[in-house]
Amino acid sequence: MGIWEGVEWLGDAVIQSDTIRKIRLLKWHSTACDSFLRFADSGISANYALCSVDVDSEFPCSLWQAHWLTGVRETACRNSGYVARAAQFLNHARCDTPCAAALDRVYRHPALLAELSKVLSISEADAVVAVQQRFRSIEGMHSSCDWPVSSRCESRVSHVTTAVRSWTPSTSTAGLA
């Protein structure tokens, strides 16, 4: 067994983790980097925990490594975007369908909910309560958001309200409430 064998398991662990929200890639041997990134990129799009990827300025990056790293970074960016939009929705800064959908996505993934609580500087239990209350009050969006009254606005609110009426909390976060 070579010195770098098994590093791909670390990449696989990041993919499958429900709790790893941040990774920091320091200076690696090129072979180890290849193994880690190849495996991390192979299924990372299904990960809804990773929100941040920090890369050391001296991180060795070949063309393939850059390609694989892009997939990992895009997943982290997508997930942190869900958290940001969910926070905006909770704070009544944006009351639109993408933010309501992001709040739903965050609620269904405990790591994203933990990240939301960090962003809002509240406990995870308080974040769960805030999300549940916001979903309960979503039918009152006409008065809770400062939208000008227009048919476009009415259409968006109607679409979100319909989605919320059919929404049920995920069983994966039921134990947090």
Under the banding of pLDDT at 50, 70 and 90, the label for residue 106 is very high
Q: Which of 4-18, 70-84, 150-164 has the lowest mean pLDDT?
A: 150-164
In this structure, the number of other CB atoms found within 10 A of the CB of residue 78 comes to: 15
Q: Give the pair of three-digit tokens for residue 49.
A: 């925990």
Query: What is the pLDDT at residue 62?
Result: 76
User: Average pLDDT for residues 1-25, to the nearest whole number?
Assistant: 82
Three-class secondary structure assignment of the chain = CCCCCCHHHHHHHHHHCCCCCEEEECCCCHHHHHHHHHHHHHHHHHCCCCCEEEECCCCCCCHHHHHHHHHHHHHHHHHHHHHHHHHHHHCCCCCCHHHHHHHHHHHCCHHHHHHHHHHHCCCHHHHHHHHHHHHHCHHHHHHHCCCCCCHHHHHHHHHHHHHHHCCCCCHHHHHHC
Total residues found in the chain within this entry = 177
Convert the pLDDT of each residue in 126-175 to its tens digit. 999 999 999 888 765 544 454 443 343 444 444 444 444 444 444 444 43
In this prediction, residues 90-112 reach a mean pLDDT of 94
Over the chain, what is the mean pLDDT?
79
| Nearest CA-CA partner of 170 in 110, 129, 115 | 110
Which of 15-29, 59-73, 80-94, 162-176 shows the lowest mean pLDDT across its residues? 162-176
Residue 63's pLDDT band (cuts 50, 70, 90): confident
39-54: pLDDT as tens digits: 888 889 999 999 999 8
Residue 155, token pair as written in the block: 């259409």
Task: Tell me the percentage of the chain whose pLDDT exceeds 70.
Answer: 74
Prediction pTM value = 0.73
